[in-house]
Amino acid sequence: MAVWLLLFSVGQTERVHVEFTGQPIRIEYRPGLRAWRGKLLSGGNAGSEVHAASFLRERLIVLDSTLSRNGKERDRILAHELFHFAWWRAGNPLRVSYEHVVRSELLAKIAGEAGWSAEWRKDALEPDDRRYRTRRWREYICESFCDTGALLLCELDTHHEMTLPRRAWKTRRDWFEGIAIPSSLKI
C-alpha cells in the first residue's frame, strides 16, 4: 500500500497534511490527448482535446505530454486526477455531503466553478438533472469535487479557470478542511 503525504493549504498561514492511501497508480505521458466516443486517443483530430484521463480500475493516469513542460499546471491536473480516485473510493456519505455544498450554491444562484471541467458540465445541466440526480448531475458533482480539491492541494486560491465567488470558495475550502481532510483519502 502506498501512502502519500501532501501539503494542503487551508488558509493564508495554516497548512495541513493530506494523506492519500492505496495501491500505486501508474502515470504515463502521451502526446496529443483527445477524448472521442468514450475512448482516449493520442494524436489525430477526432474528438476533443483533453489534458488528462484517469482509468480507475487500471489504476492509471494519462497526462498529455505538453504538461511535462509546465510544472504548476501539471501538478494541478495531476491533483485533479488523484481526486478522481479519492471520489471513487470515498463512499456515499462523503459524496452526498459534498453534493449538499454544491446544491446550496445552485439554490443560491451562485455562478462559477473551481475549474473548466466542472464549469462546462454545470452549464450543460438541465432543470431535472439535480432533482433526479441524473448521470449528468453526478458527473458534474464529481468534477466539481476534483477541481476544488486540486486547487486546494496546489495552494491556488486563484487560477484562470476558477470563476467561483470568494464566499463559495471559502465554503468549499471549509468543507474540505472539516470533512475530507481530517481522515486520510483512499485512492
pLDDT of residue 13: 38
Q: Which residues of 3-20 are buried (b: 16+ CB within 10 A; e: fewer)?
A: eeeeebbbeeeeeeebeb
Say how far apart CA 180 and CA 148 lie, in whole Å: 12
pLDDT tens string 90-108 = 989 999 999 999 999 999 9
Say how far apart CA 72 and CA 18 lie, in whole Å: 18
pLDDT tens string 110-141 = 999 999 999 999 999 998 999 999 999 999 99
Residue ranges, the chain, pLDDT below 50: 1-16
Helix ranges (H only) for the chain are 71-90, 92-107, 116-123, 127-132, 135-153, 166-175
